[in-house]
Amino acid sequence: MSPHTPATPLPLATLADTQRAFAHVSRGKVEAFAALGMPLVLGRREGARFQDAYSGRWYWNCHCNGGVFNLGHRHPRVAGAVRDALLDIDIGNHHLMSPWRGALAERLVATTGGRLPGVVLGVSGSEVVDAAVKLARGTTGRETIVSAAGGYHGVTGYAMAAGDAPFREPFGAGAAGFRQVPWNDLAAMDSAIGSDTAAVLLEAIPATLGFPLPEPGYLRAVAALARERGALLVIDEVQTGLGRTGTIWSHEQEGVEPDAIIVGKGLSGGVYPIAALLTSAAMHEVIDTHPFAHSGTFSGAEPGCVAALAVLDVVEEPGFLERVAALGERFERDLADLPFTLRRRGLTMGLAFGEEGAGVTAARALIDAGVFVVWAGNDTRVVQFKPPLILDDAGAEEITAIVRGTLGT
């Protein structure tokens, strides 16, 4: 089915009915998107596409909810594994041992070659960012966390404090013990890391900043500064991990060995929420020494572990990462002469325009044309462009044609 071919919508009578249903959840967000002419209602979904349940129109999903749908919607192996497991398991009990949690932890540790042997499971990226801050402070006995201005790490306490003010100020939340410096500014980082620094917390490629790639050697230099001064390096791979950049972890391409990695979104396969913090043995000693100080009822829920194991099965198949790299190169080649700068690593891409707000305008135009994207919240010059990793050649060709026809001069 072409994404432009209307199908029978899900049984939602009118857009007003749908908006009424959301009035109790996020009225402001619904109204904001409606004002931008994008009142989409997620209906049927399959592979790289989803349907607007109100209009019946199909869209290519080139945002993937920040990477939740790296493997597309309802990937049969992930959905099938969870469906089958639910015949025998449920959430589980976080106080008790679980073969599912153990199997997932073992697989995650293996992605680091055993260098990060500690695993803390959670429900969301925000939750495991909080855990990373707690463990960094507990390990070093220091308080300050240094992060990048314009970055984003989540909406809970410590995760929110590590981000920009607009995510804190509406709630009267402060950021004591947190310090921000400009991304890619090594001199500013050098000045910020001191004797009170517990950890440097950085996204491998900052998403809400529009995916500006790290300057060559930047992350290695930050790692060296941190280690020299007794601080830890935590890399947030929520949007870039699990093959999105052509390697399991984006920081591998920088030659960096962090003390911890944060993973979420895509670990769920878009089927069941789960996230994880991978840590060095030294960081994990805090958990080993105080085993009841950090836990969560739904952390490492067994159906989520099943979903994550299936995701790793797919991503680690021979040829999968090579296919991601080839698709990224194809998009770079086919979009080379358009009026934007393409920021790209694998299938993590930002379409960067010259003026503030141009990313919002471009995103709206692409959505009108049948390609769903979102602009970068902290740099509205940029469109976040993240096609699913399972995209076939025909899909890539059609998406390219739409982008060229919409944004070309």
Strand arrangement, sheet containing 118-122: 118-122, 275-279, 260-263, 232-236, 197-203, 144-148, 178-181
The confidence score (pLDDT) of residue 6 equals 41
* Residue 7 parent element (H or E): none
Q: Is residue 50 scored above 70 in pLDDT?
A: yes
N-term to C-term CA, the chain? 29
Stretch 132-139: mean pLDDT, rounded?
98
Q: Does the pLDDT value for residue 376 go beyond 80?
A: yes
Give the pLDDT confidence of 199-217 residue by residue, as tens digits.
999 999 999 999 999 999 9
Cα(365)–Cα(349) distance, integer angstroms? 18
Residue-wise pLDDT tens digits, 255-267: 999 999 999 999 9
Token pair for 379? 């740099």
> Which residue did the predictor score with more confidence, 383 or 168?
383
pLDDT at res. 35: 79
Q: Say if residues 387 and 351 touch (Cβ distance below 8 Å).
A: no
Burial of 220 (0-12, 13-18, 19+ CB in 10 A): middle
Mean pLDDT value across residues 156-167: 91
Q: What is the pLDDT of residues 286-307, one digit of tens each?
A: 999 999 999 899 999 999 999 9
Q: Evaluate if residue 317 carries a pLDDT over 80.
A: yes
Which residues are within 8 A (CB) of 130 and not within 5 positions of it... i.e. 6 or more apart?
A: 154, 156, 157, 158, 159
Residue 18 pLDDT grade (very low, low, confident, very high; cuts 50, 70, 90)? low
| C-alpha distances in Å from residue 351, one per residue of 189, 207, 226, 405 | 27, 12, 32, 15
Cα 204 from chain centroid (whole Å):
11
Please check the confidence at residue 172 and state whether its pLDDT lies above 90.
no
pLDDT (0 to 100) of residue 40: 83
Q: Does residue 1 register a pLDDT over 90?
A: no
Q: Given pLDDT bands bounded at 50, 70 and 90, which one contains residue 13?
A: very low
Q: What is the DSSP letter of 213?
A: P
Q: Model confidence over 344-360: pLDDT tens digits?
A: 999 999 999 999 999 99
With a threshold of 0.85, does the pTM exceed it? Answer: yes
> What confidence tens digit (pLDDT) does each residue in 66-110 have?
999 999 999 999 999 999 999 999 999 999 999 999 999 999 999
Q: Distance (Å, rounded) from C-alpha 101 to C-alpha 120?
A: 10
Distance between CA atoms of residues 375 and 186, nearest Å: 27
- Is beta strand 58-61 parallel, antiparallel or unpaired with respect to 49-52? antiparallel
Proportion of the chain above pLDDT 70, given as a percent? 95
pLDDT band at 21, cuts 50/70/90? Answer: low
pLDDT for residue 32 is more than 90: no
Query: What's the confidence (pLDDT) of residue 193?
Result: 98
The answer on pLDDT for 9 being more than 60 is: no
